[in-house]
Chain A
Amino acid sequence: AQSVTQLDSQVPVFEEAPVELRCNYSSSVSVYLFWYVQYPNQGLQLLLKYLSGSTLVKGINGFEAEFNKSQTSFHLRKPSVHISDTAEYFCAVRHASGGSYIPTFGRGTSLIVHP
């Protein structure tokens, strides 16, 4: 079985500061990893994903994430946040082959950007 842990339920940060949202996963097989963003009163949309290849993945809105297989982590980073980045962020994992193709989501991290 696969699982995802988002270590912080809430991350407050000042505008233009860097931010890291942490995600750890557990799986016995190779995985695909995703970050989704949910703006207030909206559905989720894909921010970035790791399927294979380079472990540093760049997404929309200046976000990036690094896949670390030895630490089973996929932390999301942005060097300088904006007020508009205030949202809920979800990490998700699914098996790359075999097993269940249904993704498992973490509980979410609320990013709150203060002026």
Chain B
Amino acid sequence: NAGVTQTPKFRVLKTGQSMTLLCAQDMNHEYMYWYRQDPGMGLRLIHYSVGEGTTAKGEVPDGYNVSRLKKQNFLLGLESAAPSQTSVYFCASSPLRLAGLGDQETQYFGPGTRLLVL
């Protein structure tokens, strides 16, 4: 049981290049999330998904796109990278929210992807 994995771990891009970050989870979770972490800003939600084939915008969606074609995978795309997108990106997943089942409320995080855009 690998939990949540992220690919790649590190990446350096030039301004204007594109790339896709892959998140995979083997816990059969319904919900998946993409966050970015910047110094002094904490975690900010980029996009999230409540199930296969569905996605929604979070707090800072501009410049990013996502897809959830399979339940276990959540892809984050940068179509034209900018220096402002230099950050550490975290993927997370959580089970379907059901009232009265406390463990359903926990998010499980991947190890992160460090992205530098020059």
Contacts and interface: CB of A to CB of B under 8 A. Distances in A.
A106 B42 CA distance: 6
Nearest to A108: B42
A49 B42 contact: no
A51 B4 contact: no
Interface string A32-69: 10101000011111100101000000000000000000
Nearest to B99: A97
Interface stretch (B11-19, B67-75, B77-85, B104-112): B104-112
Question: From DSSP, what is the main secondary structure of chain B's interface residues?
Answer: mixed
B4 A49 contact: no
A41 B111 CA distance: 8
A101 interface: yes
Interface string B39-83: 011110100100000000010000000000000000000000000
A9 B45 CA distance: 20
Contacts of A46: 106-107
B50 to A, nearest CB: 9
A102 B4 contact: no
A51 B42 contact: no
Nearest to B56: A102
9 closest A-B pairs (Cβ-Cβ)? A43-B109, A107-B42, A105-B43, A44-B109, A43-B111, A108-B42, A51-B102, A46-B106, A105-B42
Interface of A: 6, 9, 32, 34, 36, 41-46, 49, 51, 90, 94, 97, 101-103, 105-108
Given A102-B33, A108-B42, 12 more contacts: A34-B105, A36-B109, A41-B112, A42-B112, A43-B111, A45-B109, A46-B107, A90-B42, A101-B97, A102-B45, A102-B58, A107-B41
